[in-house]
Amino acid sequence: MKETPEKTTHFGYKTVDANDKASMVADVFHSVAAKYDVMNDLMSFGVHRLWKRQTIASSGVRKGHYVLDLAGGTGDLTAKFSQLVGDTGQVVLGDINSSMLKVGREKLHNLGLVGNIDYVQMNAEALPFPDNSFDVITIAFGLRNVTDKNKALRSMYRILKPGGRLLVLEFSKPKHEVLSKAYDFYSFNLLPTMGKLVANDSESYQYLAESIRMHPDQDTLKGMMEEAGFEQTTYQNLTGGIVALHRGFKY
Amino acid sequence: MASEHSEIESTTCNDASQFLLLPQIVLSIIEKVLNQVLVLDPLLSQSLETIQHKRLIVEIRDWQQALQIVFDGKRLHLFTAARDSDYDCLISADINTLLTLKNPAMLTQLIRQDKLDLQGDLNIAQTYSGAFSKLNIDWPEQFSKYMPDAAAQQLYLNLKSIHHNALNASTKINALVSSLFQDELAVTIHPLELAQFKQRNRDVKNHVSALEQRINVLIRTLN
Ligand SMILES: C[S@@+](CC[C@H](N)C(=O)[O-])C[C@H]1O[C@@H](n2cnc3c(N)ncnc32)[C@H](O)[C@@H]1O
């Protein structure tokens, strides 16, 4: 079957050919990789660390678990997981982008975290693992960059063990109008400017702001997870819904 | 009616504390401080060795909060816990009761008195209680060190005065929590404040674009 040439998707607010999105997203993350951690702290006033703590808290991870930190980038979640699964567990840091993986590997090595972490380049839409492999999968600030989100969710469901859980940490829709306005101003005016001043890359941060707005809201994402097969799907709004943590189980 | 009212009030507090992720902030600071102590005190690590990777959940009934503690052999991890979190040992009691656990011998006594509920492996709770009872940490001082901005300054002052007054431990914590909640409630925005905020935003925006132009000029001159 031939792919329809007209198949399109969103790249931020732009409509682009679906086949091009992955490489455009790749360009964004190649260009931000080196400054990624600094920008993360700056842009979120350090709050991303708390969002990530909450993700770990909800993961139910324990010694011996097999964990996939998908779109794991520079490995913040992997670092904690690696300590919690211990020497009988294993964490896979998976990302589509080699520059991000490289920065992540260096960072975790420097933290002395070795022995139970694998670094694997992969596309969330076609995960290179057998069925029923993982106890926990997380995807933090990654899903909105994926071209076919439904396909990615189905792929995650497939490789999760029965009883395992998926956690999706992602920007979402603020609950209150006021917060929503302030947040819009912040992300469309200040964010790209900060990106320009610190990383000399306002376009990537413009993309960031746009991709956040195009991402499905809380209930839509919950529905998508259910459609992919997840059960007992719930979400928790963090920081007034600027970010939401979705959780679903496979039984 | 009275109970309804207090319920609404406590929801507002919880919402605010959720918004600011306060439990996560507080736990991350406690975690940091305890891990510094662990580095300096090898005996403490040793005393926790037998319960490596065992998950203890501590439920503070009157605060409606629960936290989980894990020792991975090198570091302690502290997180919020949910109702459905798995555990190897769970203890549940009021904050006042929990604070008396500084004396490990109290554990079984409190269970017998029905003041403390324990499920799972008693040894885990006993080991933690034994290990922590030896610690002597100046918490207010530690908190002041790790909370950076202006809001924290207020917290620091509150903590300092509480500290100086040498109130007992539970009053200290209650006062801390209520002052945190008061700070949070002040976060709600009045329409006038919003208008001011918008105006200030416009100013900032203008400044930013002016700055941007100056930077562009500078870059051009450098090139
Ligand atoms: C914003 S970063 C998040 C990194 C990390 N999880 C964190 O929270 O700090 C998004 C990551 O998603 C990765 N990514 C984008 N599309 C992907 C895909 N289709 N499959 C796997 N990873 C992808 C990017 O390379 C990037 O490292």
| Residue A61 domain flag | yes
Q: Which of B25, B74, B86 sits opposite A50 (nearest CB)?
A: B25
Ligand 1 pocket residue status of A51, Cβ below 6 Å = no
Model pLDDT for residues B101-129, shown as the tens digit of each residue: 877 788 888 999 999 999 999 999 999 99
**Tally of structural domains, chain A:** 1
Q: How far apart are the first and last CA of chain B?
A: 72
Neighbours of A216 (CB within 10 A): 16
Q: Where are the alpha helices (DSSP H) in chain B?
A: 2-19, 22-40, 42-48, 95-99, 106-112, 122-133, 139-146, 150-164, 169-185, 191-222
Rg for chain B, CA atoms, rounded: 23
| Residue A232 domain flag | yes
Domain residues for the domain of A57 are 36-174+219-249
| Residue A211 domain flag | no
Ligand 1 pocket residue status of A96, Cβ below 6 Å = yes
| A72 Cα to the center of ligand 1, angstroms | 6
Choosing from A146, A156, A191, A204 the residue with most ligand 1 atoms within 8 A of its CB, the one to mutate for a pocket test is A146
Model pLDDT for residues A40-94, shown as the tens digit of each residue: 777 777 889 999 999 999 999 999 999 999 999 999 999 999 999 999 999 999 9
Q: Could you tell me which residues of chain A have a Cβ less than 8 Å from any Cβ in chain B?
A: 47, 49-51, 53-54, 56-58, 60, 62-63, 80, 83-84, 86, 178, 182, 185, 189-190, 193, 196-197, 237-240
| Residue A128 domain flag | yes
| Residue A2 domain flag | no
- Residue B213's alpha-carbon distances to A189, B206, B209, in angstroms, are 15, 11, 6
Instruction: Flag whether the ipTM exceeds 0.90.
Output: no
| Residue A180 domain flag | no
Domain B2-137 CATH class label: alpha beta
CATH number assigned to the domain comprising residue A122: 3.40.50.150
Amino acid identity of residue A119, one-letter, is: Y
Distance of alpha carbon B102 from alpha carbon B36, whole angstroms:
20
pLDDT bin (cut points 50, 70, 90) of residue A195 is: confident
Residue nearest to atom 8 of ligand 1 (CA): A140
Ligand 1 pocket residue status of A123, Cβ below 6 Å = yes
How close does chain A come to B146, measured CA to CA in Å?
13
| Residue A126 domain flag | yes
**Token reading at B30:** 């406690």
| Residue A224 domain flag | yes
Model pLDDT for residues A108-136, shown as the tens digit of each residue: 999 999 999 999 999 999 999 999 999 99
How close does chain B come to A22, measured CA to CA in Å?
31
